[in-house]
Structure 1
């Protein structure tokens, strides 16, 4: 991305510091509409937390927050407000990592779980000779990502649902904050009264998703992974599952960073892995 620094990029797309989300919604939409958003979002947050905590019948973990995701992405305006409050610092730290390891990006690039396309467009601008595809389940998020790419005039990026890929594989796969949504976690209330999963069980829990990621990468290609984990048994299970799925971690690419995430702090693990030829 010649001449365009990360902070300038985030400012250009409208990412800003927000201390109070409720106040920002009222400021952006006016008192009456802003309060309607606050009321609806509170309802969706409570429902989402309940589903994550107690389970949701036959609804798999991946789909337990769909209503909330779709609401935030009903427009680019609301999506950028949410990103400003929850992810402003995360985006900056993630982009610093992506830029530092720019030598691993080439050819066709997939961004798995691209959300509103902020990181996807960043990659497309950094690598103008690559074809970048953002993959996302939410139709609303795809629409927002396309609008963002249009405003940025990025012409080497497209967005679609994963099932539209067919048998295509990429040279570099970016997977950011997707593991927790795809791994077969138990409901948290069940885990509270249960011992921590064994190392073998952690590998098993991560195994199927690791295989799905591997299936998207050409031999000799790379996976760039940024996931919300402490450096603990769960993260070790993810790494081992990826190794069993045909990846080898590239020496010197692992980095741990922590940053504000909404009202709290989250820890992330970033690494680059190479797909065995």
Structure 2
């Protein structure tokens, strides 16, 4: 069994932490879940907390994939109930509560690691020889980069004379400027659970077609790393981020990111859509 479990769970710039996590050492299930609030719609906390609840439901037995499908169905039912609609398809995609996830189930008896993935949460393995393997791909990043590029252009055009601002002032400014890219954000949300877009858990039947799933051997596995996208080092690749976490741990990773964010409140040096995202990570060491 793993010798050490590290966890980071920190709220970002908003009032509610829309991330969630699972540390179920009895059943050896671990997950990071990144909720996304609908544009003018439901809170991302609905999705992240419901998916967590569904995965941990004692009546929800089976493979990790089957557990995820059960949890996703539960999210659909909750969404319909809360919005009083006849079917989830009646609620536009951009208004739905949704979430990304990276989750693992460890079977030491069979020496296997079962995993599921959706969205921009990431899962990495480090082997005893130091090599790192990514089991997931961030399909949201290419779409986000389009919106971030346009947001950066707006900020540099409109904020060239600003320098010293407080966190509250910066948040107000960014919220105002973000209205200039709402159409881009809506276009991106419209691509969820579509070919050429990205997979995400939103309670729809389409979501189950985009959940990535696999089983690998635990042979020579030294560490397992699960991260929400808030723990990606600004302007660094996922691979660089994972390498830093494996070498230094989750707390130093979080501190590094927080320092960069707090010294760039207007998101000009490290282009991004908000000052600080929620941050969730789990690091298992064998």
Per the normalisation by structure 2, the TM-score is: 0.27
Larger relative helix fraction: 1
Q: Which structure exhibits the higher relative contact order, with contacts defined as CA atoms closer than 8 Å and separated by 6 or more residues? A: 2
